């Protein structure tokens, strides 16, 4: 069995090259043409930024709609979009545009932000480090996750879904690869039940430890 | 100051240093040259003072070069600096010629090292003309803008833009500070050094000495704003907020900063602040010399609440410093303060003296809130705004720039 290699990661952000948006129409136009990395950054990499308990929404577009456009209806509709539910970023883009178009259709004026409150479009390079930590048995996961950084949890449980095999976290991929006789099924099923997108990394780590520890306790 | 990287392990943990060393291994032997215009004074020199030795410790062949200029050159570059920040300045053709001549003289001296470098970081506008002169360069050149050029005076930006467009990449502190340029624009926020004189832990005796020196009462709450006497920092608004709180709570206020003596605008602001303070013995307006790092450190550590009620702000490193000392910050809802102060988590964002007074009173009634927000603030800085994150981003962008084929995922 090849041991699971624990990695850590950090982001280096850069401007996307798109001009900032100051109103909902401009937000729509930028989302329609931006690169997929930009979409991924504002929907998924937000988790790696400093976050706090009970943030309102997990994507930048919903937060901007609430704080700077003052449109709570739009913020709620954008805020519920779970990027990991879509088979591709292209489909996430289409769903986001649909929400915005619906709102533009309902509005008598185009919601706008004050100068200085524009939204900027960015993307990031992910830099991945080898922590030197190895896990060789599924029973070790809970303890190992307990001492992982937020970057490790993000890289293995969230960012992994963007890599091949698409949509699968690294823990599950490793458990499937090493699933002799179906003995890893309980771990795989427990991980699949986690409603991960709306957690902060802090809470996601707690949830991972909880479900994996529960399996050990039942042994 | 040459603090070895290992000294930070107790603050950021071994994993962070291990990551930096892995990045260093990938870049071992890379010839890196930083160029700026001053060896001492100012934020850029402070950064290069720690960054260059740490890069060397990580195995890079890093050096720091300073261009020499005439008083006229620095008058011109000061005008360029002000123009980039939006001031309507008049820089005659002769002035730009002086700028180019001084760069050319420095290029003669720096030519071998600049031509041989793998990466050259040009800090701010003063040495930006060097790229045009270095026609035999073989490395990548990166322009680091430390200032806010979001709303520049167009005639100045037009000239400078022609100088920075040919760079391979640029770095800005925040997206709001950037200008469209035809190359990658990285975002690297500034940072603080937790072991510097301004931020290191201080023994109780040193705090007491500052307390005694300025006649502060340790038994009563203390509000502290550290900043230049500048209208955009709204010190008069801070005094107004203090007055609203003073009616109901026995607070003291310290407004401390420098930069008023040689700056006519600063002098006028200081006079306004002194007038607003009147003869209230609980308002301490302190004009500090630029090297008063330990005094600033002590005042921030003695504070109950840190204020930074700016109406316009760059990144706001005084906010970072206050948060690192475990204090909640009540800050203006502008610029980089928004990146640091999160309502109910690390402090409060406010727009008016009334808003500041309201939040001060709230916190004074909730000591547990002060403690909780202070703890969160310190951890937030540990994660995001210490020099180890800053150096990691520089090393990463060097890797990305040297190997542009690496895409959006770089494994080290």
Dump pLDDT digits (tens) for A21-72: 999 999 999 999 999 999 999 999 988 876 555 567 889 999 999 999 999 9
Say whether A13 and B186 touch across the interface (CB within 8 A).
yes
Q: Which residues of B289-310 are buried (b: 16+ CB within 10 A; e: fewer)?
A: eeebeebbbbbbbbbbbbbbbb
If you average pLDDT over every residue of chain B, what do you get? Answer: 93
Residue A4: pLDDT above 70?
A: yes
Q: Number of C-alpha atoms within 13 angstroms, CB side, residue B372? A: 11
* Strand duo B185-187 + B140-144: pairing: unpaired
- What one-character-per-residue DSSP string does A113-175 give? --TT--B--EEEEEEEEEEEEEE-SGGGHHHHHHT--HHHHIIIIIGGGGSSSTT--HHHHHH
pLDDT of B313 reads 85
Residue B132: enclosing H or E segment and its boundaries? helix B130-133
pLDDT of B273 reads 96
pLDDT of A186 reads 94
Q: Which CATH architecture has domain B5-191+386-406?
A: 3-Layer(aba) Sandwich (3.40)
pLDDT of B302 reads 98
pLDDT of B262 reads 52
A131 in Cβ contact with A6 (< 8 Å): yes
Over residues B10-21, the mean pLDDT reads 91
pLDDT of A217 reads 76
Q: Is B386 on the interface with A (CB under 8 A)?
A: no
* Confidence at B339, pLDDT banded by 50, 70, 90: confident
Over residues B134-160, the mean pLDDT reads 94
Residue A152: pLDDT above 60?
A: yes
Helix, strand or coil, per DSSP, at residue B186: strand
Instruction: Please report where in the chains the tokens 């603050």 appear, as a residue.
Output: B11
CA A165 to chain centre: 17
Q: Which residues of B48-63 are buried (b: 16+ CB within 10 A; e: fewer)?
A: bbbbbbbbebbbbbbe
Helix, strand or coil, per DSSP, at residue A23: strand
Say whether A15 and B185 touch across the interface (CB within 8 A).
yes
User: CA–CA separation, B305 vs B371, rounded Å?
Assistant: 10
* Confidence at B261, pLDDT banded by 50, 70, 90: low
One fold for B5-191+386-406 and B204-384: yes
pLDDT of B263 reads 62
This complex has an ipTM of 0.89
Q: Is A201 on the interface with B (CB under 8 A)?
A: no
Instruction: Please check whether the domain covering B204-384 is classified as CATH 3.40.50.2000.
Output: yes
Instruction: Please report where in the chains the tokens 């780590």 appear, as a residue.
Output: A205
A55 in Cβ contact with A200 (< 8 Å): yes
Residue B321 CB-density burial (10 A; 0-12 exposed, 13-18 middle, 19+ buried): buried
B319 in Cβ contact with B338 (< 8 Å): no
pLDDT digits (tens, 9 = 90+) for B308-335: 999 988 889 999 999 999 999 999 998 8
| Sequence spans of domains, chain B | 5-191+386-406, 204-384
Residue A98: pLDDT above 90?
A: yes
Cis (ω within 30 of 0) for the bond into A46? no
- Residue of A188, A173, A194, A196 whose CA lies nearest to A83: A196
Which of B187, B408, B412 is closest, CB to CB, to A129? B412
User: CA–CA separation, A11 vs A49, rounded Å?
Assistant: 9
- Residue of B124, B160, B119, B117 whose CA lies nearest to B143: B124
Give A 137-156 residues with CB within 8 A of chain B: 149
> Which distant-in-sequence residues (6+ apart) come within 8 Å of B204 by Cβ?
none
- CA closest to A159 among chain B residues: B409
pLDDT of B406 reads 61
Which of A12, A50, A118 is closest, CB to CB, to B186? A12
CA A92 to chain centre: 12
pLDDT digits (tens, 9 = 90+) for B362-404: 999 999 999 999 999 999 999 899 999 999 999 999 999 998 7
Say whether A15 and B410 touch across the interface (CB within 8 A).
no
User: CA–CA separation, A93 vs B257, rounded Å?
Assistant: 49
B145 in Cβ contact with B59 (< 8 Å): no
Residue B66: enclosing H or E segment and its boundaries? strand B61-66
> Which distant-in-sequence residues (6+ apart) come within 8 Å of A129 by Cβ?
A7, A8, A9, A10, B18, B19, B22, B23, B412
Which DSSP category does A21 fall into?
Answer: B
Q: Is A19 on the interface with B (CB under 8 A)?
A: yes
- List phi, psi (to 5°) of B212: -70, -45
Say whether B186 and A124 touch across the interface (CB within 8 A).
no
pLDDT digits (tens, 9 = 90+) for B209-247: 999 999 999 999 999 999 988 888 999 999 999 999 999
Which DSSP category does A18 fall into?
Answer: P
């Amino acid at each position: 069995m090849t041991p699971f290699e624990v990695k850590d990661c950090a982001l280096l952000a850069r401007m996307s090259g798109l001009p900032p948006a100051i109103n909902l129409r401009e937000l729509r136009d930028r989302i329609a043409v931006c690169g997929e990395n930009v979409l991924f950054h504002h929907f998924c990499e937000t988790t790696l930024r400093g976050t706090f308990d009970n943030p309102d929404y997990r994507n930048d577009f919903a937060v901007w709609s609430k704080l700077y456009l003052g449109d709570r209806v739009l913020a709620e509709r954008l805020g519920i979009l779970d990027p990991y539910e879509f088979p591709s970023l292209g489909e996430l883009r289409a769903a986001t545009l649909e929400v915005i178009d619906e709102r533009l259709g309902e509005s008598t004026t185009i919601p706008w932000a004050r100068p200085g409150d524009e939204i900027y479009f960015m993307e990031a390079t992910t830099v991945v480090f080898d922590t030197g930590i190895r896990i060789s048995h599924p029973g070790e996961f809970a303890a190992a996750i307990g001492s992982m950084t937020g970057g490790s949890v993000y890289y293995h449980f969230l960012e992994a879904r963007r890599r091949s095999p698409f949509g699968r976290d690294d823990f599950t991929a490793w458990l499937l690869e090493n699933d002799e006789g179906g003995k890893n099924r309980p771990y795989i099923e427990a991980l699949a039940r986690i409603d991960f997108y709306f957690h902060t990394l802090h809470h996601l780590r707690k949830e991972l430890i909880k479900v994996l520890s529960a399996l050990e306790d039942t042994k | 100051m040459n603090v070895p990287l290992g000294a930070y392990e107790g603050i950021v943990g071994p994993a962070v240093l291990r990551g930096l060393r892995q990045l260093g291994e990938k870049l071992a032997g890379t010839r890196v040259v930083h160029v700026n215009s001053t060896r001492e004074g100012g934020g850029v020199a402070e950064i290069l003072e720690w960054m260059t030795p740490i890069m060397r410790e990580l195995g890079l062949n890093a050096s720091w070069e300073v261009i020499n200029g005439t008083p006229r050159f620095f008058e011109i570059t000061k005008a360029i600096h002000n123009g980039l920040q939006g001031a309507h300045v008049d820089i005659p053709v002769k002035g730009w010629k002086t700028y180019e001549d001084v760069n050319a003289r420095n290029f003669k001296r720096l030519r071998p090292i600049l031509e041989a470098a793998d990466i050259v970081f040009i800090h701010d506008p003063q040495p930006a003309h060097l790229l045009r002169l270095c026609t035999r360069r073989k490395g990548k050149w990166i322009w680091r803008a430390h200032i806010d050029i979001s709303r520049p005076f167009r005639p100045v930006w037009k000239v400078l833009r022609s100088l920075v467009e040919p760079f391979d990449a640029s770095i800005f502190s925040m997206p709001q500070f950037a200008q469209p340029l035809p190359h990658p624009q990285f975002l690297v926020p500034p940072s603080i050094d937790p072991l510097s004189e301004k931020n290191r832990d201080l023994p109780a005796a040193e705090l007491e000495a500052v307390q005694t020196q300025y006649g502060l009462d340790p038994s009563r709450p203390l509000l502290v704003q550290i900043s230049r006497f500048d209208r955009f920092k709204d010190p008069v608004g801070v005094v107004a907020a203090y007055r609203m709180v003073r009616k109901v709570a026995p607070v003291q206020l310290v407004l401390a900063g420098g930069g008023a003596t040689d700056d006519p605008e600063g002098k006028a602001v200081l006079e306004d602040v002194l007038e607003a303070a009147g003869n209230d013995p609980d308002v301490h307006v302190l004009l500090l010399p630029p090297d008063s790092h330990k005094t600033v450190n002590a005042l921030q550590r003695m504070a109950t609440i840190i204020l930074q009620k700016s109406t316009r702000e760059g990144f706001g490193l005084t906010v970072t410093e206050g948060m690192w000392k475990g204090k909640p910050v009540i800050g203006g809802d502008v610029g980089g303060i928004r990146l640091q102060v999160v309502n109910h988590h690390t402090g409060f964002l406010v727009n008016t003296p009334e808003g500041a007074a309201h939040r001060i009173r709230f916190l004074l009634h909730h000591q547990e809130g002060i403690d909780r927000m202070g703890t969160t603030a310190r951890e937030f800085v540990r994660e995001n705004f210490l020099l180890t994150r800053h150096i990691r981003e520089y090393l990463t962008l060097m890797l990305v720039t040297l190997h542009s084929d690496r895409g959006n995922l770089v494994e080290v």
